[in-house]
Structures are given as C-alpha cells and as structure tokens.
Structure 1
Amino acid sequence: MKYIVIIGDGMADYPVPQLGNKTPLQKANKPNMDFLAKHGEIGMVRTIPEGISPGSDTANLSVMGYDPRKYYTGRSPLEAVSMGIELSDTDVALRCNLVTLSEEENYEDRTMIDYSSDEITSEEARELIDDINRHLKTDSMTFFPGVSYRHCLVWKNGPVGLNLTPPHDILTKKIAAYLPSGEENKVLLDMMKKSSEFMKEHPVNKSRVARGLKPANSIWLWGEGRKPAIPLFYDKYRLRGSVISAVDLIKGIGLCAGLKSVDIPGATGNINTNFKGKAEAALKELENGQDFVYVHIEAPDECGHRYEIENKVRSIELIDELVIGTILKGLDKFDEYSILVLPDHPTPLSLRTHTSDPVPYILYRKGEEKTSDVLGYDESEASGSGFFIEEGYTLMDRFIG
C-alpha cells in the first residue's frame, strides 16, 4: 500500500460575499477533489486542539500524527532543523520575519503593512540578514538566513514563554499593542527598533523602492521555542516516507520525524510555485520505494493572509489540476494506494489569519470506492457527512490503519 497526504494550507474558509456567499472551496472548479469526495470518506477533523494556538506548526504536527499538546515546543526550532542549524538543549530559536512597516518617526506609531516585504527574494534577504548580523549579532544571539522573508534568530540560553505576536496576525494594524513587552523581551524590542534605523537605507531596499516594491524596513521576532523531540514516523507506523514542501517549517517537522525532505526547483510557498513539480516528485518518491509522501502546498494560506480572493480560488484549482490530477494519473501503476486531502487549518479571507475551526478531509482508498450522495468537497458537504474526528492527531492512525 502506498500512502499520500496532500495539504492545501489554509484552504478552508467562511462564505465570502464576493463569491456569492460561497467559500473558495465551493467556488473553485476542482473535479479531482470532488471525485475523491464522492467515492471516498469525507468528514470534518479538528486539527487544532482546544487551547492551542492555530498555526501551521501545531496543525501539521497534528495531521502528521503527533499530538501538539505533547510534542509542540515552538515554531522556529522546527524551521531551524530544516535550515540545518544545530540547536543545543538550552538554545532558543525565534522566527525573524523581514517586514514592511509604515514610516512614522516613532517605532510604536507604525503599522504592519506587509509581513513578507512583498515576498522579498531569498537573495535580497540574505544580503539584509548579513547586514543585520553585522549590526545586531552578539555573543549569545545570531541570525541565520532562510527563504524569502522567513529567517531565524538563535539565542543561546534564551527564555521561552515570551508571548510574541505573529506579524501575519496584525496586518494593517498599529504595532504598539503587539510589540515585545517585559524585561525579558527588552533585548528583542531593542533589536527590532535598531534594525529599522539601518535597514531603510540599505541598497537592497533602495533598489526595491525604485522598482515599486515594498522595502524590508524592520525585523519582526516571534515563534520562539527549544529543540523538539518528536518520535520517528517509522517507529509509529512502520512506513518509510518523504516530505515535499517549500516551507522550512513543514520540512523541519518532517526531518524531526525522520522523513526525507525533497527540494523542488521553483517551489516558492506562494501561488507562483511549481505545483506539478511537487506532484511529480511525490510520484518519484513512491516509485523509488517510499511508502508514504506528505505533500504540502502553501499557496491558499498566503492568499488568505493577503486577502487575495480570486487567487485563493485559483490556488485551489491549481492544486486540484496540477497536484491531485497529476498524482492520480501517476498512481494508476500501483495496485493499492490511499490518498488523504485536507487543509491543515482554515485561513479565512475575512480575518486574514488562522482559526481553530475544524477542516474538511477526504480519505480515499483504491479498491474501496464508495457511492454516495455527496456533491463534492467543501466545508458544507463535509459537515453534513456525519464523520467528525475530534482529536486531529488520530486521523493519521485512521488513514494508515
């Protein structure tokens, strides 16, 4: 049996007035998802446990079969693992976003314009992170470059429980109420303020402004945590597997679980990504002997954060056509396979951030096709199916079991 999981990050949503009060999943043309829903099991699953922050970190841990209440230690250390950063047991890793703030004189008066600095390129970002290290690196704190706007700060013997705010949660809002506060956070706030003093004048940003792009004019620190200890996926399920994602967070979860991480040329983490390349790589992994592949596509989540209504619909259609369609054709050569399709969490366009609402899932097995009166794959059809999984981390047991 071959197993493949396809995550459309943030696909689930609420009805959108501009879409005729349909959700993006209801609006999208997605014949492959609809086919799987009509002939498989469709239901709802709560991927975010009560009282846990609704992030892609906690949600994907849950989908991969790990209870976030037991194994979650913070977002950034998972990303650090993917970036090849060695963490000691007392190191604290923090996510460092390159953000665009408005330009009021007082830092506290500024507004969060863009958590991604117009999705700055990795090459430009590396130049900025090098300069940030020159200005801000200390004996205990070092910055490491990642992909696009997503980077890492490692704080030797640093504290946890800092109550820091993700920048994508405060788009268009004044930052004053969300800045790091308290004595332990003073060093982080000072770094953020100092970064804004020299980043604005950096040649990378002057070039971006001249080209009509948003500058990366401040760092934003959040998502702290210590090195995780996740049981190996093989020890849990006796399956050898791979993870395919453009995002360090998902790669890091996979690597911590002992999965092979596969890099895809042209994979970006947004709607301009190599959808088909991810599908073809997943098939190749299965053909080369892997039992399990976890394919993660970030695009719907990014569209939700950015309030790009049509792009969110289009990203779902591209996942259906280029990812699921390609995978279904390629799986014909296998006698037995199972497919699991779901969002990790909702990213409602109206809120521009994640929520803890349950999400719709499809579980389809070749050779066990069903006939039902399900019309297709969306939140409403899944809610009416009668299947509901309260503990999201048990969905993987159901899928593989």
Structure 2
Amino acid sequence: MISPSANDVLAKQNYLIPITKRPELCFLRGEGHYLFDQDDKAYLDWVQGWAVNTLGHSPQVMQQALIKQSAQLINPSPAFFNQPMLELAELLCENSKFDQVFFTNSGAEANEGAIKLARKWGQKNKSGAFKIITFQHSFHGRTLATMSATGKEAFAPLFEPKVSGFTKVPYNDLAATEAAIDGQTVAIMLELIQGEAGVIPATAEFVAGLDALCKQHNLLLIVDEVQTGIGRTGSLFAYQQYQAAPHIMTLGKGLGGGVPIAAMVIDKAVSCFDYGDQGGTYNGNPLMCAVSAAVLQQVLAEGFLAQVNRVSDYFCRQLAVLAKEFGLGTTRGKGLLLAINTGQLSAPQIVELARDAGLLLNAPREDSLRFMPALTLTEQEVDQGMALLAGVLTTLTAAEQ
C-alpha cells in the first residue's frame, strides 16, 4: 500500500462531509500506545479514540477474536440469538448489579434506549410520567433525543425543536435536583464523571443523595457510563465507587476497545419493552460481541485494575510536578480519565504543539487538558509523555515572557 502524501489528504478530504476540524494527518497504523501517520511519524496517543481503545491500538487479543469469529459467523440477524451475544451479556451481568442487556452500536444509541425505556416504564408504572432530569454541561450523545438531554450550551440552539421532557439542573447540586422533581418526573440521568465538561466527578454525597431521591419519589436512576465504564476509572464500572444502586447503566467506548459496540444494562424489575419497541440491524452482532468479550476478559483478569490504579497514581504525581513548575491547576478525575486546568495557557494551543511534538492530547475546554490513555499504560510511557508535555509548556511559557 502506498502511503498518502499530505497533498493526497488535502484533496481527498473534500469527499467527506466536514463535521469537525481535523489536522492534515492520515493515520495508517497503530501499535499499543502509538499511532503512525503517512510519514511513519510516531505519536504517543493519550486520546485513544476518546477513551475508546481500552487495550491500546490493535492488541493481539482483539485481532485474534476478530479472525476467529469472522471465520465462524458474522451476522445471523438480530432476530436470532448468537453465542458471543449471550456470552457477553452474561459477562456484563455477572460482573455488575444488573440483570439484562440490550446491545447497541454507539453510546448515543444506548442512551436513546435508556430514555425510551424510562418513558415506557413511566407509562406502565407511574401514570405516564416522562420527564427526565439531566445536568448542565452533561453530554449524552448526538441523536436528537440525546442532544436534547445533553446540558452542553453549544447544543441549545441546534436542530430545534428538540425532544421535550428534559429538565436540566446544576451538577452536584442536590437541592436543585430535588426542586426539579414533579409529578411527571420519571428518572434522573447523569454521568458520574462529566467528560466533555472537563472531567468533573460527581461527589459521593451528591450521588448518594440522588439515590435517596429516586427511592423517595419512585424514580429511575440512570448512569451514563459510556466514557467511565470498563475499567476507565479504576473499577470495572464507576458506579461501584459510589453508594448508589442505579436501575439502568449505559456503556460504550471502552466496551469494544475500538470496535463499534455499546450496551444498555438494566435491572430486570424495570424491563418493560414490548416486542417491536426496540431493535437495531447490527445490535448484538456476533463479530463485535466476540471482540468485546475478549476485551472485557482482559480487564477482568487478576491484577489488571490494580495496575490501572497504580499507573493512575503515578500519572497524577507527575502532573503535580508539572503543575508546580508551570502554574497549572490541580489534577481531577479517577483512574485513567484525568484532567488538569492550564491556568493562563491555552489548552487548544498546547494540544496543537504537543501533536507536532508527537503527543496526542485533548482539550475539552479552553483551559483544560484531558488525558484518556489506554488502560495498559506503563510508568515509562507516562514519563515519555510528561517529557514531551514539559517541552511544550516550556516553549509556551517562554513565548509569553
């Protein structure tokens, strides 16, 4: 295969609908923690598909699962059971508090399913209640309903009229949440760490309070773990670090480790879809389920999550060193979903300069860097990335003096 030149990338990008600003790079291969562009330049990847590549780029275990399953069965149709679908559902339920799974292809689709299920449950069990309380600065997806549920200010004027029935209140504000509950409220839906808002964790008191409110008012508690699930925060699921018993959990991103699969996982007590209410052509596809099961088994292996937490602690300590040297903020987040404020420095500018230096980062806000490396990250790779980041910060601070 002949590698595309920069001019080729420029010319062929016109065939794509522009939906985001992309640098003039074309990545041709990935190995573990590194991506390689058309010039074979290596980049240490601390974005990993937006917290998607649980085990890094193209791990052997995923390659083997794809090869093995593709030789057996790829798509029998969602009208039938298939073995990888059943095995993955069992893995998820046996390692969580939940009882049943509905597989989807994206986190937004999983959240759409959660919204539908909550409304159906409200029709059947709560006199038609349909309103869902969500939170300011939240992010739940880009379908019309999930954009309506999202508390991202930039979404507010888009694609009107949106789906009604979502009440947005301040995050980590229990009193405001309680005040928003009325007779038509059926559920409370939240990210346990708001990723797109800049990696803002829910407090323990807030989540425990939401759980109590749901019990008091007969509401469903929905946790959107599309970004936090599958070991990302140092436990298999983030809800396991809180005193709460959600009725519905949504998963995506890390569930497939890089292939398109997501899930809605629920308590059997709230399972109320009638035949035909929910579906999807590729949902529960055996190829994707087999890969996801291989990823999940790696995360469940003895010592895996302990190593995630050890590297997380080391990562935070090294960020603290940079913060002290360059006047950055404190580190926030859990596991290997972390962020730091950049103070007076422009986070998007840091991202651009870091990319030129061979380090891929994300800036969810003008003053925040987000770190989402593969969960297999080592201390040596932390050191490498910190050295690159320190070089960028040195250049920026020198230019401002």
User: Is the pair's TM-score, using the shorter chain for normalization, greater than 0.5?
Assistant: no
TM-score, with normalisation over the residues of structure 2? 0.23
TM-score, with normalisation over the residues of structure 1? 0.23
**Bigger RCO of structures 1 and 2 (CA < 8 A, at least 6 apart):** 1
